[in-house]
Structure formats: structure tokens, C-alpha cells
Chains A and B, each alone.
Chain A
Amino acid sequence: MTLHAERKQLVAPGELLAEGPYFAGENTYREGGKIFASRIGMADVIGNKLIVVPIKGAYIPRIDDLVLGRVTDIGMSGWQVDICAPYPAMLPLSETPMRRDREEGRRDLSSIHGVGDLVLAQVIAFDRTRDPLLTTKGRGLGKITSGRVARISPAKIPRIIGKNGSMITMLKKETGTDIIAGQNGVILATGKSPDQETIAVEAIYMIEREAHTRGLTDRVKAMIQERMKGKAIA
């Protein structure tokens, strides 16, 4: 039973991580009693399981993911939504909140969501044989009408959120904005003034660029405080 990789070691596809009775976790694979990395990223060991935390990669939806998507088409019973995944997502009319003022017989989908609208939704179904299914029935879900959007690599979303939400909590507090980070790499910052939103977005891009460097939280906090001083915030 040999571990070849250290925790947080940068590994490339095909590199040997361990030999023996280990489990092959995310972004690794098992071949003939050995475990290899399949993506470039940081190796880590959790108990008996080897994983690689990826640096880049496409967004693959998982059930319960919160995503921010753009409506691309209106069909007979729902909308097609681009959630930056290799598969277009579907938001059926039946998965939107019922409105008392909506008459049963009249279903004018374009009056609810039009092409180009940004929606906050949750993934309720996805598997190998069909495209992801979304819902906007939860609290806070639905059409987004204000705020600033940042688009980053989905692999960096955990860094934006931070351990137990520490990074995103700091961002919200220091910029005075509400920040929603979609698992698909699309982030929304809403504040009382566009300047606050701009600073929040700048901080987000800074985190994406410097995700794996020392003392990031402090540097981002300092940057925000510096920028906030220069603006007249109500």
C-alpha cells in the first residue's frame, strides 16, 4: 500500500497517485491495482480515497445545483436555458411557481420569460440519457432583473465560496452586496449602487486569477476596502 502523491501536489493526467487498496475518487481512475490522475489538479487523500481537485473544466450539472442561466428559446411547454454546460437545460412551465393572476387556458410563455432573460434555477434531474431539467419553484428562484454578472471557471466556485462560506461571507460584508454563486460558474452581485457591484465583480475575478496563492482572503479584503474608500457609498 503505497501513496505516491502528497496532499495538494499538482498532478497531470496519467500520473501515478497510489498503489494498493485505495479507492479511486473524483478525477482519478483505477487500473491494475494502481490509481492514476485523470485531470490536471491538486491531489488529495480523504481517508482511503484519492481525489484530484481540478483546476479547470466544463460544468457538468448535478442534481440540486443552483445555476444562473440565459433563456435561449421558448417552446410549447417551457424554455430552453443555456447553463454553460455541454447540454442545453430545460425549464418546463410546470416547474415555475403558479401565479394567481394567470388564467388556466392562457399560457403565454414569453410573458413569463423571454429570450435573453437571466434566471436563477435549481437542477432537478440530469443523467447520461437526457438534458438537465430545471425548476424555479424554490425561494428566491426565478427571473433576475438587476445586478452585475461575473462569469468564471466552474472549478473555481468552491474558492469563491470558501471553507464554510468564509470567502463569500467576507465579500458580501465588505462590498455590501448580496452575492449568489451558481455552481455553473455564473455569479450575480446585487447592491444598492453599481459601484459596489463593480467592486464585488472585480474581487471575484481577482479570486479566480489567484485562486491557489497564499493569503488570498486578506489581499482581496484589502483590495475591496481600498476601492470602497474611493467611492461615495451611501
Chain B
Amino acid sequence: MRNDPSVKLIDAKGLRVDGRRLDELRPIKLEVGILDKADGSAYIEQGKNKILAAVYGPREAHPKHIALADRAVVRCRYHMAPFSVDERKSPAPSRRELELSKVIRESLEPAIMSEYFPRATIDIFIEVLQADAGTRCAGITAASLALADAGIPMRELVAACAAGKIEGKVILDLSDIEDKKGEADLPVALMPKSNVISLIQMDGSLSDEEFKQALDLSTDACRKIYEMQREALKLKYHLVRDETEDKEEMAEVKA
């Protein structure tokens, strides 16, 4: 699987299989508030990834015994649709999905001001409709927006992106073939305002120097993605200052 010499991932011009430079992000599209029933929702396309995130909460804790006295219970479910990957995946949760549900929750929970809602729950659902590597990071980016869209108080948004290594070169935002044939994968989630990392995982082989390079690449990308998140939120909630309204109401008050 790894270090397969028969597949060329970087060509003579230094470009990757999909034409990207080593430090280039895949095209990202973000949309906020696309579901009707969920309290908050967001949709992300990153390369061929298509992921839907939704939030319900704060809402009543069911069953009651899971409730915490001093803050909300945050629950997270990362799940992949059977048709999202090359070989059909059984809809039953796999061990990988359970692990990812946990690390994703731990990447978002520090940003959520859950102490405002003791004895309640905040539920985060991430559904991968089409997968092409980097789904946990894209899921975190979308889930952040869904939380904000639901009006849940947060210290800040969370943005995520993976870096890695292919054919000896450190690269940003691995695609599926790069993840399968490459030498390292490093998903990172950053809280950009505080400049702290809330998710970091790694598998593969990286020297100290390579690791630092990869980390810088991914944190820089997280900051770029954060700007895209803010844009997406503002696009959804574009407000026009209601001067006319104010004048009207002032007149009525005087009358």
C-alpha cells in the first residue's frame, strides 16, 4: 500500500495527480443553514468530499441519566453513507467511525460554551455523502458552522485540514489516492482566534523537520479555511441596517 513505486504522485513539474501544487488546498464550497428541521446545519464540498453536518440543541437530555449537573453533554456522530466510498460500506457504525466520532467531538467541545446549558444535550451529526480523504477535517469545518448556525454560544469557530507526505515531499490536503499511497497523514484542527490545536492525529513516518513543516502547512490552511467559514456565515445572514424602521418607530413613539 504505502511507498508503491508504480504510481507517480508528483510529476516532473512538481504538480500532483489532480494538478495541484504541493501546498495547495482543494477547492472548498461552504453552505450554511440548508436543512429545515435541524437547529443548525452546514454543507461542505472539499475536492470530491461531500459532507453534511447538523446540530440539534441545546435540547432535553434523553435518557435523563446521561445529563451533567454543570454543563451540557455534547454528543457527536460521524457516519458514512454506504455509497460514499468506492466499495459499498455497511451502514452499521464501524470502529473507525466510532473513533472519529470521539476525536471530532473532542475537537469541537472546547469551543462550545456548554456551561450555559446544564442538564441538556447538544447533538452534532456528520454525514459523509461522498468521501475522498480528509473527511474528519472537512466534517469539523462544517460542524463548526452548523453549531454557529444553531445559535449555540461558542468561544470561536474551529477549522481543520490535513497535511501529509508523498514521495518524500510534505504536502497539504491529501486526496484519496495520496492518502492510500503516501507516507504520512496528519489531520489537524485549529481554533484560529486562540491559535490552539484541538485535534491532532498522525499516521506514517515523519522526521522532526518534516513534522514541523507539515504542521505549519496545516495550521496556515486552517486559518484560510476560517476566513471561508466567516464568509459563509455572513452570506447566509446578510443584514441590511434598518434605518427606515428606526425612523418610523421613533415617529410612532412621539405621536
Contacts and interface: CB of A to CB of B under 8 A. Distances in A.
B151 A8 contact: no
A58 B151 contact: yes
A22 interface: no
Interface string A122-152: 0000001100000000000000000000000
Contacts of B150: 56-57
How many chain A residues sit at the interface, stated as a range, is 35 or more
How many chain B residues sit at the interface, stated as a range, is 35 or more
Interface stretch (A63-71, A160-168, A174-182, A183-191): A160-168
A155 interface: yes
Given A40-B237, A58-B39, 16 more contacts: A10-B237, A13-B153, A38-B153, A39-B151, A39-B152, A40-B233, A86-B72, A86-B117, A86-B119, A88-B60, A129-B118, A163-B252, A166-B253, A212-B239, A212-B242, A217-B245
A85 to B, nearest CB: 8
B119 A87 contact: yes
Interface in A186-234: 212-218
Interface of A is mostly: loop
Interface of B: 39-40, 57-60, 69-70, 72, 111, 113, 116-121, 148-157, 191-193, 229-230, 233-234, 237-246, 248-249, 252-253
A209 to B, nearest CB: 12
B138 to A, nearest CB: 19
Contacts of B191: 14
- Across the A-B interface, the 3 shortest Cβ-Cβ residue pairs: A14-B156, A57-B151, A86-B120
A13 B155 CA distance: 6
A155 B249 contact: no
A12 B245 contact: no
29 contacts: A8-B239, A10-B234, A10-B238, A12-B229, A12-B230, A12-B233, A13-B156, A14-B157, A16-B193, A36-B193, A39-B148, A39-B152, A39-B153, A40-B151, A40-B237, A55-B237, A57-B152, A58-B39, A58-B57, A58-B59, A86-B57, A86-B58, A163-B252, A164-B253, A166-B253, A213-B242, A214-B240, A214-B245, A217-B248
